[in-house]
Structure 1
Amino acid sequence: MATPISIVGLLEEDALRRKERLKVLREKSRHKNKEDEEPKKKHFKEDKRGGGEKHLELKFQNYVPEDEELKKRKRPQVKPASVKEKVKDQLEAAMPQPITEEVDLANLAPRKPDWDLKRDLAKKMEKLEKRTQRTIAELIRERLRGQEEDLEPAKQEESDSD
């Protein structure tokens, strides 16, 4: 097991190494930044008269000079690029696609609070509906039989009177 003093010494050494690496990285990044900044500086031209002075070359974009020498420095007129096609493509992409399927309104409408109870009882209700229909049909048959029985004595009376 290492003693506390040796651990502290190792940590200090690691810290020093880390500081050196950071210092080297900073110097590299500063060097790269200096290289990047140089092209960004404005270009100066030396005076043609031989004075050795540097001056900024002027380029006129919106100003129309009257002097012939300055007219040479005017930038040519640039026509703006047509954006009609780009805008047209973007508008077409933004247009919603027509829905070809019919929308089922039952799926869109909110459900009633007891819809799950009705769903669970649906099978049992089918059985009861069948039994109810059978019972109703049986009752109707019984009534018809009862009416036939009531009609039979009347039919016999009619046949007797003939």
Structure 2
Amino acid sequence: MDATGAGATGDLESEALKRKKRIEALRQLKEQQQQQSADESTEQQQLPGPLFRSYKPADEELQKSSLPLAVPETVDRQISHDLDKAAEPPNVEEIDLLNLAPRKPDWDLKRDVAKKLAKLEKRTQRAIALLIRERLMEAKSDGVDLVNAVNSLN
């Protein structure tokens, strides 16, 4: 038993060493990839230049970074635009009293159930018609008229 136990222990130790080597190799590979990606990101990253909005730089290189002067809109255009807006009739919506009045707390539930109720109403009407037909068939055999069959249903 000692021979098999010693052999198994040696195999386990050698397997553990192999695993440690693989893990170390993976760590080194991961570190290299991270280093490369960090180097690439610093090379690709370019800082934005200054943007001058109200300052007029004296240097020619910096003048390239300044914004062009804004052209003010003429008063004539603004006035004509305002007059055009005023000429259009105002959009007055009629006020609906149903929209102004407060709704009952369960209005949304009723709205959601309305489709299902419509479907059930159709089924109910079909079932009532089927019952009336069945009673008429029985009535033909018994000799009872249509009025009694319909009245007995209600």
Q: TM-score, normalised by structure 2?
A: 0.40
Q: Which has the higher contact order (CA 8 A, sep 6+)?
A: 2
Larger radius of gyration: 1
Q: TM-score, normalised by structure 1?
A: 0.38
**Higher fraction of helix:** 2
